[in-house]
Amino acid sequence: MPSIRCKYSVQVVEYYLHNLQPLLHYSTKSSNQIPKSPNQSYINYLVDHLGFSNQQVHSIFTKLPYEYGNFSKFSINANAVIHFLKQHGFDDTHIRKAVYSYPKILSANVDQTLKPKFQLFQDHGFSESDLVSVISSSPLIVSRHMDPIIPHLKAILGNTDNLTTFFRKTHLLIGPSTLANLNSNIALLNKEYGVDIKDIRNDLLRFPGIYLKNTESFQNIVVRVEKELGIPRKSGMFRYGIRLLCTSSKKVIESKCQVLKSFGWTEYDVSELMRRSPPTFLLSEENIRKKLGFLMTELGYKPDFLATHAPLLSLSLEERLTPRHRVLLVLKEKGLLDYNFHTAAVKTEKEFLKILIEPFKEDAPGLLELYQSNKGCSNIDTISRRC
């Protein structure tokens, strides 16, 4: 892992002078102050050249904190930007996506900003399609000073494909201090808690914001996973506990615990579920209620069983639980097979079809169609009406 803490005394200053200067426009305005409406020429340009609707145009201009300048100068520069982007593989949809998210890209200097930035990414192995993907998803990156950032992120993430995914998924300000946090947080998990670097990278690509947190805050969260959630660091659920505490407040988590208790769960049952399946507590309260209603009220499962067979609560009610239950009901009613629901529910789709659908094509014709037609149902009454 490359060390980045001691290299940026000068670069940090340069970075923030470069990247935060455009934001100074906001500091002299009241948060309630609305910028002047653009004249019709700007509206017509965005509608005619980029295919925006009038409503979208209004949204675009609310993101611009400054008064609108000379339209002729704007249109010449915007034309040059659009032409440059199209030369590099962007289609109209990509350009609209970038402009809607970051309208100031149309005011970027092609020679001084876009060309050097594109060249920098290409020098680090980004293909044309990579650039299209990254900049259409996170166009603010064209205004960032990325020279010292890209090689360090690439060293952490392993390759250009992972770096592309990372940039597409994070819209946060990535600077030297943020990278220092990232390095420290990764080192904490990898060296002190024994979390495999491959697992860390996978999580970083899925939930980048978690690992970019302030190091002290992140460390406190990691400690709480063991102390408050009871998840040992060697558990495969440890990283999921980190995600839960990074994204949910104590109040939100406690509210979901109360949902479980309203179905007769004890404190021990809730703690056991938390330890075995923290992702369950990332579900909405309504989702948890529906699944408990199905599994406990309809199927008769008890809290202690569900707490120790946590995958049942993480599976989709509409796409997995209810349609598979219906298949098992049909097989049982026809006297063909009496199969354990939990075992059937956790099987992969391929396994389920091979074991519980294909062998019964002749004795239970239409079983596959019944299974497929019941996907999307969320309760037994709806399933019954389809039969």
User: What does the DSSP assignment read for 234-259?
Assistant: TSTTHHHHHHHHHHS-HHHHHHHHHH
Q: Are residues 281 and 361 in the same domain?
A: no
**Are residue 84 and residue 208 in the same domain, yes or no?**
no
pTM summary value: 0.72
Q: Please check whether residues 13 and 137 belong to one and the same domain.
A: yes
Containing structural domain, residue 330 = 317-386
pLDDT tens across 18-71, in order? 444 444 343 334 334 444 556 788 888 899 999 999 889 888 887 765 555 688
Q: 95 and 68 in one domain?
A: yes
Task: Give the pLDDT of residue 13.
Answer: 39
Q: What is the mean pLDDT of residues 85-108?
A: 93
**What total of structural domains would you count in the chain?**
4
268 part of a folded domain: yes
Residues 230 and 263 in one domain: no
Nearest CA to 275 among 312, 214, 319, 229?
229
Distance in angstroms (rounded) separating the CA atoms of residues 99 and 96: 5
Residue 118 placed within a domain: yes
Does the residue 150 lie in any domain?
no
One domain for residues 255 and 361 = no
* C-alpha pair distances (Å), 198 with each of 109, 122, 126, 189, 311: 39, 26, 22, 12, 23
pLDDT tens-place string over residues 147-188? 878 888 888 888 889 988 888 877 656 777 888 899 999 999
Flag whether 382 is in a domain. Answer: yes
CA 291 to chain CA centroid, Å, is 23
Q: Does any domain span residue 167?
A: no
Instruction: Indicate if 88 and 111 belong to the same structural domain.
Output: yes
Does residue 335 lie in a domain region? yes
104 and 188 in a common domain: no
Tell me what pLDDT residue 12 has.
41
